[in-house]
Structure 1
Amino acid sequence: MQRRHFLELSTLAAASAAISTAQDSPATTTRPRLVFTKFLEQVPFDQLAAKIATLGADGLEAPIRKGGHIEPAQAADKLPEFVAALAKEKLKVGILTTDIVRVDKESETLLRTALAQGIKHYRLGPYEYNFKKPIAPQLAEVRAKLKDLAAMNKELGVQGQFQNHRGNNRVGSPLWDLISALEDIDPAQLGIAFDFAHATVEGANAWELNLRRAASHVVAIYFKDYKLEGRSWNPCPLGEGCVGPTSAAVVKEVLPADTPFSLHIEYVGGSGEDRVANTLEAMKQDLATLDKWLPR
């Protein structure tokens, strides 16, 4: 009886240890890693896919807007080709960057075309305030447009994402206005793409407060960095400016582990093949930084 009792206790202890270990182990993240392919729009689809595949990213935040990889009016013909080229490299379009700001025939057509290619997430275009008019009524108009877009998104089965952006007259710049406009809107239909660089430009000491307040609306994270010299914005490699590992620590604390992030590169100059090569190298380096901040 004593031996049996000992074995039972040993079994319970082993099971308890296994449970404890599982609870103490960090959860495996499924966070998609995207790269924003702005400035790479002129690279042929197959070449772009092959180059991005070498970076270890899961997919693209791809500009399908005026001046983007594909003009919206040509999406029905060219988007399937674009998606097929990416699929050959086991990549996908995680976020479609658009100029959409209202419900209209063109917007719905583009989203239906994207959905047919398996693309369910898109970024909206910007809204701006007119300082010659009262702000509150303008924000109410923006809210009405966002509610209409959310209703369309629900009907189609897609999700819209609104990026907070720096700028004295940009809706979402202070974040409080965007959060207010999105109240009672299901983030499954329309949420915030939280851009750390723009959030710190406009709220150097309040970005964490803003993120925590906005967290229930945040559906994507945008990473890029900059140095602020006076009032001048100077983009730089990730981790060398105002955006640091603390941002990733807060992300891990307040956002779900499957919230996608998109890496933005805006500090590479030049043109032509040199700019393409330098942008890809910058993506590689900044992704390595993010791997340290947000390990898979």
Structure 2
Amino acid sequence: MNRRDFVKQTALSASLIPFWDFSNNIFTLPETDKLEINIFSKQLQFLDYYSLGEIAAEIGFAGVDLTVRPKGHVLPENVRTDLPKAMEAIRKSGSNCKMITTVIESVNNPIDVAILESASAANIPYYRPNWFKYKDGLSMEDSLLSYQKNIKKLGELNKKLGLIGCYQNHAGIDVGSSFWEIKKILETVDPAYFGVQYDVRHSMVEGGNSWINGLKLLHQNIKTIVLKDFKWGKVNGKWEAINVPIGEGMVDFNSYFKLLKGYKVKPLVSLHLEYDLGGAEKGDRTLSVDKKVVFDAMKRDLTEVQRLWQKA
């Protein structure tokens, strides 16, 4: 598929965090040895568009995965006016945006169509849609067939607009916790225009040791990936998957990255920081910690991901 090339802007601001030292050999690796990692803007919703791009560029991210959804950086109902403003500010700051996270579900929803048309006009090729829920009154099989039709129609619109939809696998009871559910809903769509946003954290929560089979099943459909880490622990006496910084949890990044390399899959990355960061992890616009806590966490996780990728 032909897509417009993105021009990487390299101007960096010295005003936002001038006290930081970015000298670290992980950032001097040849570009071919590095993943193209974007920061999920949910963790930075306390920043305006320009500051969002500025901090991403300062730290070393390739760009941002912008939230275009309720309570996000761009509200869906304002997408036609606000997404162009966001993109202009992000690019002027020295960063970029090749992916957005949305709650898109259907071509029959005018706001969903407006988001897709706006993304196309802004040269943003990838988007994550909403997670589908099983429908009351329908069997699980019929629900999947219904969503299969939704995705096929989205894929047809994607083809016209030059976009790629990426359905995220996610732990829980919605459609997509099972790898086979995703395989089913993608059966009839053109794979060039709709695929998977593969989330290894959720894969290992749901798949246990069988996540390897899930990756084998879906690797040809992977368009983008999400990176984050977790460990099991008790919260108020109940076992839960607790989010932790990259490399401090149970995600077997070494095996995962080796498998990706074996499959020759090196997709665009969205890095999520969903452990305690004073509310930033929940998308809060007012934090209970200094912003530097969030920025330090971003740099730490980015560095660790690139180290693990190089090592695998």
- How do residues 147-158 of structure 1 correspond to structure 2 at under 5 angstroms? 147-158=152-163
Q: Give the letter aligned to residue 101 of structure 2.
A: T
Instruction: Name the CA distance, whole Å, in 2 between partners of 1:82 and 1:237.
Output: 28
- How do residues 73-222 of structure 1 correspond to structure 2 at under 5 angstroms? 73-104=77-108, 105-130=110-135, 133-167=138-172, 169-222=173-226
Quickly say closer, same or farther: Cα 1:27–1:71, change in 2 above 3 A: closer
Q: Does the 8 A contact of 2:230 with 2:244 survive in 1?
A: yes
SS in 2 for 1:35: strand
Whether 2:272 is the aligned partner of 1:246: answer no
Quickly say closer, same or farther: Cα 1:238–1:109, change in 2 above 3 A: same
Q: Deviations over 1:62-109 (max 9, x none)?
A: 101100001011122221221112112332112111110111322111
Unaligned runs of 5+ in 2: 1-29, 280-285
Whether 2:42 is the aligned partner of 1:33: answer no
SS in 2 for 1:215: helix
**Pairing partner for 1:235 from 219, 225, 243:** 243
Instruction: Give the match for residue 285 of structure 1.
Output: 300
Instruction: Name the CA distance, whole Å, in 1 between partners of 2:291 and 2:155.
Output: 36
Shift, 1:219, TM fit:
0.7
Instruction: Name the CA distance, whole Å, in 1 between partners of 2:202 and 2:120.
Output: 29
> How does the TM-score come out when normalised to structure 1?
0.85
SS in 1 for 2:100: strand
Instruction: Give the match for residue 295 of structure 1.
Output: 310
Q: Give the letter aligned to residue 244 of structure 2.
A: C
Q: Does the 8 A contact of 1:224 with 1:265 survive in 2?
A: yes
| More off after superposition, 132-141 vs 201-210 | 132-141
Shift, 1:268, TM fit:
2.3
Q: Does the 8 A contact of 1:42 with 1:69 survive in 2?
A: no
Q: Give the letter aligned to residue 70 of structure 1.
A: V
Q: Give the letter aligned to residue 276 of structure 2.
A: V
Q: Does the 8 A contact of 1:61 with 1:96 survive in 2?
A: yes
Instruction: Give the match for residue 74 of structure 2.
Output: 70
Q: Does the 8 A contact of 2:34 with 2:306 survive in 1?
A: no
Instruction: Name the CA distance, whole Å, in 2 between partners of 1:207 and 1:149.
Output: 27
Q: In angstroms, what is the RMSD of aligned CA positions?
A: 2.1
Q: Does the 8 A contact of 2:53 with 2:64 survive in 1?
A: no
Instruction: Name the CA distance, whole Å, in 1 between partners of 2:225 and 2:182.
Output: 15
Shift, 1:246, TM fit:
1.6
SS in 2 for 1:68: coil
Flag the structure with more relative contact order, 1 or 2, with Cα contacts below 8 A and sequence separation at least 6. 2
Shift, 1:32, TM fit:
2.1
Q: Does the 8 A contact of 2:231 with 2:241 survive in 1?
A: yes
Quickly say closer, same or farther: Cα 1:151–1:39, change in 2 above 3 A: same
SS in 2 for 1:39: helix
Quickly say closer, same or farther: Cα 1:295–1:186, change in 2 above 3 A: farther
Shift, 1:132, TM fit:
5.9
Unaligned runs of 5+ in 1: 1-25
Q: Does the 8 A contact of 1:163 with 1:172 survive in 2?
A: yes
Report the structure number with the largest CA radius of gyration.
1
Q: Does the 8 A contact of 1:40 with 1:276 survive in 2?
A: no
Instruction: Name the CA distance, whole Å, in 1 between partners of 2:95 and 2:277.
Output: 26
Count residues with an aligned counterpart.
Answer: 269
- How do residues 258-269 of structure 1 correspond to structure 2 at under 5 angstroms? 259-269=267-277
Q: Deviations over 1:113-132 (max 9, x none)?
A: 12111111111011112476
Instruction: Name the CA distance, whole Å, in 1 between partners of 2:98 and 2:188.
Output: 25
SS in 2 for 1:87: helix
